[in-house]
A = this chain, B = another copy of it.
Amino acid sequence: MAPTPFAVVAGVGPGTGAAVARRFSKAYPIALLARSPESYEPLVQEINNAGGKAIGISADVSNEESIKSAFAQIKKEYQGAHCAAAIFNASGRFFRKPLLDMSVDEFGSSWEVSAKGALIFSQAALPLLVQTASSGEAKFPPTLIYTGATASVKANAQVAAFASGKWALRALSMSVAREFAPQGVHVAHAIIDGPIDIAGRDWLKDMAAEAKIAPSDIAETYWNLHTQSVRCFTNEVDIRAMLEKW
């Protein structure tokens, strides 16, 4: 019998990524990917102290070699285990800028992470997820979740860079869902529509709690997506706090 399957979370900052990692660590050993150790080290320690198992790996999702090497390390660490879930939570930086003031590189920076990064991560994770599905041993269908945003479905003035990266990611998600669902892999895209309550965000501190999305609740929703059966795949959810205006 195979060892406990593991989960991979890419893009572990103080918000959604960390919360998702905590939630999935209740069931699975976890691999956390982030650009720098500062982003994952406290969390790795926290999860391991809480009786879970976590490893952290410095990796850049927009760099193919970096992600290949990270997955090689994961496979070595969790040898023989199946991959239960892969969460892509990395994102280009959000910024507003008049179109004519934006450099071509700034415009591309969002796509580099949100779309190209998602592709690279998906190409590394999908063979493992397909293998999990075909093993017939997984408790839940292996799952690939992409984190989207308001700008995945809207493209306001001055956010062309961020939005075009997020729209590209949403397209990737739909295409991947259609290609891999018949193989038993569950692919979902979450539209996080509103501010996420992340400690240290000064601009949010005067906002009512009910106007801010709780990362731990996003994580619970991701977990619930993961537990859906092959006869009930949700490919897209939206998420809002109760006081969100939309």
Contacts and interface: CB of A to CB of B under 8 A. Distances in A.
A174 to B, nearest CB: 4
Task: Classify the interface of chain A: helix, strand, loop or mixed.
Answer: helix
Chain A interface: which size bin?
Answer: 35 or more
A210 B231 contact: yes
A99 B115 contact: no
Given A181-B244, A221-B232, A175 B163 contact: yes
A233 B169 CA distance: 22
Given A100-B127, A111-B115, A126-B100, A197 B160 contact: no
Contacts of A169: 164
Interface of A: 64, 98-100, 102, 104, 107-108, 111, 115-116, 119-120, 122-123, 126-127, 141, 151, 154-160, 163-176, 178-182, 184, 186, 197, 209-210, 212-214, 217-218, 220-221, 224, 227-244, 246
